[in-house]
Structure 1
Amino acid sequence: MLLGKISTGRGIEVDVQTGDVIVLPAGTAHSSLSSSADYRYIGVYPQVGLSLFEKLVTLVSLNDCPKWRNEMGKKPAGEFKTVIKSVEMPEEDPVYGRNGPLTQLWNKDILAKL
């Protein structure tokens, strides 16, 4: 997986294995460098007002989720600064719940350089 870059600029390559969970902050460029026939990508977008349990057991329409964009580098990232900043920090780690590492590691005051 390539993080932080679509076609130009700097990025890092991350080796992703079966069972890995990756949580990316809003506005993070990412793409697959290669995949096998059984590769699956699942995008999960939070719905405001539901507990983690309700999110896991309820099929939620994408219409009920925050707006996401697949721009593929068509516009300069700086154009999306306001939208990216408006995405709220998760209340819970999507895998481990309230006391999971995501809520401890994610610092809402650190912003990507757009």
Structure 2
Amino acid sequence: MSRDENGRAKLRMDRRKFGAALAVLGVGMGTEMFASTGEPEVLQLKRNGWMPNNERLPVLLYRGAFAVKGDVAAEMERVFEQNEWPPQWRNGVYPFHHYHSTAHEVLGFAAGWGRIMLGGEGGHEVRVNAGDVALLPTGTGHCRVEASEDFLVVGAYPEGEHWDICRSAPDEAAVERMRRVKFPASDPVHGANGPLVRHWMAKA
């Protein structure tokens, strides 16, 4: 510690330590990849016909989570991987209602736009654009209603989880699989202290 000309204490921190401190807070160097740090939209879905949805854990919609510049898909993959949600595919969203009984899922919308129905037939329709991210807890129904020709989605799942496709009401085995899906270690976009932890922890 040193002192200025008025005798006041001055704190010094080298650039590397300063960068590390900012990284812990989720700001500073490297965060230009994020277009928005605001809270996600929260959507709590109930069972809808044969679609189980997830009555404990809400869907989280991160609007403008990534800046739309450069290779957005690669940047999403890098961030998801860093936050312990390894990406498993690049494609779109299936045009039929389905859910996953073996994994939570994060969808990073890397290009174009789409209209997605969440929660099964007659559920909750949302429009998503490049830079948005949707976090779907296991059991959440989803289906592509319409999309632009360049619509591109990055799909990722917590470490050790692999997706299945379910298109009918869950039987006892599927209910048990969903019950046993592990709680994620961190938020796929913002890391260990991100919104997932706050919004899901209280309901897990």
TM-score by length of 2: 0.40
Among 123, 128, 136, which residue is 1:16 paired with?
128
SS of the aligned residue for 2:162 comes to coil
* 1:33 matched residue in structure 2: 145
> Following the alignment from structure 2 to structure 1, what is the Cα–Cα distance between the partners of residues 202 and 176?
14
Aligned-CA RMSD value: 1.8
Q: State, as a whole percentage, how many aligned pairs show the same letter.
A: 36
Matches within 5 A, 1:1-114: 1-5=116-120, 8=121, 10-47=122-159, 65-71=160-166, 73=167, 75-79=168-172, 80-107=174-201, 109=203
Q: Which structure: larger Rg?
A: 2
Higher strand share: 2
> Following the alignment from structure 2 to structure 1, what is the Cα–Cα distance between the partners of residues 202 and 141?
18
Opposite residue 70 of structure 1, the aligned amino acid is I
**How many pairs were matched up?**
88
> Following the alignment from structure 1 to structure 2, what is the Cα–Cα distance between the partners of residues 108 and 27?
19
Shift, 1:77, TM fit: 2.6
Comparing 93-102 with 78-87, greater Cα deviation is found at 78-87
TM-score by length of 1: 0.68
Question: Structure 2 regions of 5+ residues with no counterpart?
Answer: 1-115
Shift, 1:67, TM fit: 3.4
CA contact (8 A) 1:2 1:14 kept: yes
> Following the alignment from structure 1 to structure 2, what is the Cα–Cα distance between the partners of residues 24 and 76?
18
SS of the aligned residue for 1:104 comes to helix
* 1:52 matched residue in structure 2: none
Question: Structure 1 regions of 5+ residues with no counterpart?
Answer: 48-64
SS of the aligned residue for 1:81 comes to helix
> Following the alignment from structure 2 to structure 1, what is the Cα–Cα distance between the partners of residues 176 and 186?
23
User: CA offsets, 1:45-87, max 9 Å, x none?
Assistant: 122xxxxxxxxxxxxxxxxx3232112x2x3134411111111
CA contact (8 A) 1:89 1:108 kept: no
Shift, 1:43, TM fit: 1.3
